[in-house]
Structure 1
């Protein structure tokens, strides 16, 4: 749950400030017995971004307040408003910090009802659809809605079971269709309510009419006495195939459920200057055979799909100039992509890992930066456009220690990457700089600082 900061309040009108607070505290609102009429005295609006090749999108009132922004698979906070007509516009910001108009939508807000505005489809011409339902006060129960927002407009049969029960014991709740948000009915209603009992459940999806499971969720604990919206969407970012089920509540936090059988993937980079090719062994999971291959200096392997699990990586230098890396543990979770970077420090091979972004890379680039230089306590990276200097650069990452990685979301543009450190006199020392580089492709970029045979003894590499 996110609460607006004082600086955020300064950009919101008084009506909207009160709206944010009411919406947040309404997340787990509870009353007496379940009722068919709403106890809520405001109208509510929230935006969900389901365009898998899009950008960060802001929703705001035409000639009025901003309601925040959402990346793919995320929502804004829920805002409480007075009922009536509301004109909304949607924009993104390009690499020149100019606003790009996407579309406008007029909605009619009703007291006691929540309106969810969903952007889906190809971002070049996205579809905006509004869904409305009445909010209710509940005790020990929750309501459940479902919607398909996949790019191919697929429908799925939706099953649900109590935690621990297999698919054979799951209950068919209906077919979830694109552009048609439906409320699902509980199979075991009690005398107090027709709605779902709070507790832990598992979601299963099949193709319509089939009994072959194409998606099985992790166990999800429904702990709030409110309405849940589950959206079936595509995977994006480093992994391009698969299905995710987003769980939307009344805050900007979305729980993304991945298939428990979804594959993961990895790629490995050899940042060393060792002349011979390093011998890499990747394995150790009882469900997968070990994989062996070689990597030359500055070589980045392709992505390799593999079953999720706990693996070990062993790296040997055939020249014996560096001590081997043995049994480095690498955990790959379902639907996760990891980068593994091999380095050589004091003639000892090592490796660092990080998870690569699952966000679309069409407009905004999630770039991972990593410091593979152990000579300094920390290093600073600057992303300098052609009309900027280090002092005026809008994007930078500060104080990366050896082996530490961090990410920055950059607008698609050309940047000079500069790495520096500060000496004891707080003077900046240049370690390396690149020419203007275009972070313009739909790629997951990695920027490394490494030891090298250069004038400074270090170099920046941009990998993708």
Structure 2
């Protein structure tokens, strides 16, 4: 079977005049009006899974998708195609998850969706006919929540409230439903390209469980809206992905989704530090007392703009006052308190929303002000830093980087290069298992050790 990749069009999720634009490959170009190929795409919605590759059995690879992501759209001749879906384990060996035969039809898009618990994954085939659209779009909803709950879907024009929204239909588990526009015109029964707000409720109820921002449906194409679970650092709630005809998937978060944070005291001060988090009128200020190397639990909080202040009773230590911390809907952040030559400061980064069951998301951060070119290496038992494939280089003070690691045991090594371009060891750990279902953080920080520094692994 002859296949070729479609080019990916530029697009993004842009906030413009309070409208979020959903971008993707459109179907309005007159040269594409006949859709003379069949089309194939894969989307991954398993909230506790791994990156999955789709390929033709004994043939071409069609790319991979991690959770909440999709492969590029592939065009092909019509007919049967044998597909297999594969992940890579910790030993770099392929694990075949499933195989299936799909019949591709000219003018139709076939979407293969992975959903459910990854220990017993479900691969579901959906098919839709592509159409040439003029100033209109088509709207499909898929419900991929693991709990199997159905949802009523509503849409309102131009950010109108739920009371003014129009009921579109009910979507059950693993269903794909094409929604019908409530105000068709003489030219088309499809939706007018415009700005809308989406709402979800439980069937027959009026309490909104999900509300989107104002979304700009500006492309003349088919929008596939995937209702899915969340994963990673924040484990509760639901989200919606807009899957179009490119690898770019737009994630839409509930406007009322809560956020969370946790705080780590990387200082080696003898006295506890006091951290005050607040400054938002909708939330009471919260105070933490943290000893050296102590990590707080996650604290759930409404999204918004906050400030933190940090103080220490120890003589000669200057505090931090009113550092701005912004937490968006559905966002989790780590706040790392450090001591920079007698002055307290804070570095922050967002924690991953990807599953941690197989592939581990690890944040590395340099909390040593003495060096601005620290390298981290993740070294397995049969590797050295010269052969290790997982590393991050040249982290400046307060800078963080993220790596995706297969579940395995690693020795973490931190080095810097001196003025003679020689590597100097700061610290190394014993072989440590990155094997838990957790978001890992790795710091290098001052300590009372032989080198004056130590690596700390947090989760």
For Structure 1 versus Structure 2, the TM-score category normalised by the shorter chain is: over 0.9
1:209 to 182, 188, 204: 204
Deviations 1:297-324 (A, max 9, x none): 0000000000111011011101233101
2:160 maps to 1:165: yes
Shift of 1:164: 2.2
Deviations 1:92-132 (A, max 9, x none): 00111100110001100000000000011110110111000
Task: Kindly indicate whether the alpha-carbon contact (under 8 Å) linking 1:343 and 1:351 is maintained by their aligned counterparts in 2.
Answer: yes
When the two chains are superposed, the root-mean-square deviation of aligned CA atoms in Å is 1.6
Shift of 1:19: 3.0
2:10 maps to 1:20: no
TM-score (structure 2 length as normaliser): 0.95
Deviations 1:54-94 (A, max 9, x none): 00000000000111110111111110011000110000001
1:386 to 381, 386, 394: 381
2:170 maps to 1:175: yes
Shift of 1:24: 9.0
2:414 maps to 1:419: yes
Deviations 1:190-239 (A, max 9, x none): 11111111111110000000000000011211121110000100010000
CA distance, structure 2, for counterparts of residue 180 and residue 336 of structure 1: 28
Deviations 1:317-354 (A, max 9, x none): 01233101000110000100000000001100000000
CA distance, structure 2, for counterparts of residue 335 and residue 363 of structure 1: 22
Task: Kindly indicate whether the alpha-carbon contact (under 8 Å) linking 1:61 and 1:87 is maintained by their aligned counterparts in 2.
Answer: yes
1:271 to 241, 260, 266: 266
Shift of 1:23: 9.0
CA distance, structure 2, for counterparts of residue 377 and residue 298 of structure 1: 22
Q: Secondary structure at the match of 1:168?
A: helix
CA distance, structure 2, for counterparts of residue 193 and residue 24 of structure 1: 27
CA distance, structure 1, for counterparts of residue 8 and residue 347 of structure 2: 44
Aligned to 1:29: 27
CA distance, structure 2, for counterparts of residue 331 and residue 293 of structure 1: 18
2:228 maps to 1:233: yes
Task: Kindly indicate whether the alpha-carbon contact (under 8 Å) linking 2:6 and 2:74 is maintained by their aligned counterparts in 1.
Answer: yes
Contiguous gaps of at least 5 residues in structure 1: 1-12
Aligned to 1:361: 356
Task: Kindly indicate whether the alpha-carbon contact (under 8 Å) linking 1:24 and 1:250 is maintained by their aligned counterparts in 2.
Answer: no
Task: Kindly indicate whether the alpha-carbon contact (under 8 Å) linking 1:175 and 1:208 is maintained by their aligned counterparts in 2.
Answer: yes
TM-score (structure 1 length as normaliser): 0.94
Q: Secondary structure at the match of 2:6?
A: helix
Q: Secondary structure at the match of 1:294?
A: strand
CA distance, structure 1, for counterparts of residue 411 and residue 6 of structure 2: 40
